[in-house]
Amino acid sequence: MRRFGGRNTLERLARFGYGARGFVYCVVGALAVLAALGAGGQTGDSKGALRAVLGGPFGPVVVGAIAAGLLAFALWRLVEGITDADRRGTGPKGLAVRGAHLVSAGIYAGLALTAASLSLGLGLKGGDGMQDWSAWLMAKPLGRWLLALIGLCVIAGGFGFLGKAVAGDVTERLALSRNQCRWIRPVGRFGYAARGIAFLIIGGFLVVAAWYQRSSEVRGLGEAFRLLRRQEYGWILLAVVAAGHVAFGAFGLIQARYRHIDAPDIDETDDAAARAFRAFR
């Protein structure tokens, strides 16, 4: 892909995508914080956040821009997974991260379609998407075990987020000075920790659903928030984890501006995709 204005177009799309994702998580977390404090918010997921934005000023336009940004982020995740743009390597850890990027591409593409549907006034499909696909999966041979495996992978991802929050360098890919990273690092750590807790809970829901063979046990981020709220001193737990999601969103906005993105040219992307296809044949 040719450079425009001195920057790779894929890089522009990636930055737009990080910004859109960051904005969504800021809204998700802010609404949950308000709910924890009894100030009228709601503990919902990304779709709930999109609905809230839709009801605000210029709602359809803003949600339409978010849809475009999330689609751009899904494209970037796909490119990351295929081309190894971040130089993760072909070791077990690198392949796991690249595989997670491919899964992330599908998830954010679906959320982009939801946002586009809302923006165009088409509404959302009825039912719960996570419960629908889990019911479909469990109806297949070995589907119960596959769902349990997915749940365990989500739990592993949660521990990965927590590990990065505790011991990882969340600012390693930011083009900022050491002094600037000093105040950004706690924001990133807080955000990754909150996402880790959410992943552990959501993964647990999936494993429980597989164990009891009931897709109704599958829950998303909104129910994870509500589970925290039901615990002793739950409003404090919810407020902390929700604030962490605001931090995760804010960190995404920082990534949109300062993350190092080594986006390949489109010809290089095509070649990498062809190599990946041949490797799996």
* Predicted confidence (pLDDT) at residue 169 exceeds the cutoff of 60: yes
- Output the pLDDT for position 274: 56
Average pLDDT for the chain: 86
Contact between residue 60 and residue 113 where contact means Cβ atoms under 8 Å apart? no
* Predicted confidence (pLDDT) at residue 165 exceeds the cutoff of 90: yes
Tell which wins on pLDDT, 45 or 3: 45
For residue 122, give the 3-state DSSP assignment. Answer: coil
Band of pLDDT at residue 89, cut at 50, 70 and 90: confident
Q: Which amino acid is at 136?
A: W
Band of pLDDT at residue 218, cut at 50, 70 and 90: confident
- Output the pLDDT for position 264: 76
Average of pLDDT values for 54-82? 93
In which element (H, E) is residue 98 found?
helix 92-119
- Distance separating alpha carbons of residues 140 and 51, to the nearest angstrom: 33
Cα dihedral 104, 106, 111, 116 sign: positive
**Hunting for tokens 């802010």 — which residue is that?**
30
- Output the pLDDT for position 1: 41
Average of pLDDT values for 197-213? 92
* Predicted confidence (pLDDT) at residue 40 exceeds the cutoff of 90: no
Q: Which amino acid is at 279?
A: A
* Predicted confidence (pLDDT) at residue 79 exceeds the cutoff of 70: yes
Structure tokens at 169: 């360098």
Q: Which amino acid is at 242?
A: A
* Predicted confidence (pLDDT) at residue 126 exceeds the cutoff of 70: no
pTM score, two decimals?
0.85
Cβ neighbours for 87, distance < 8 A, ≥ 6 positions apart: 262
- Output the pLDDT for position 5: 39
Residue 117 exposure: Cα atoms within 13 Å on the Cβ side: 13
* Predicted confidence (pLDDT) at residue 267 exceeds the cutoff of 60: no
Contact between residue 67 and residue 73 where contact means Cβ atoms under 8 Å apart? no
Structure tokens at 54: 């839709």
**Per-domain boundaries in the chain:** 9-274
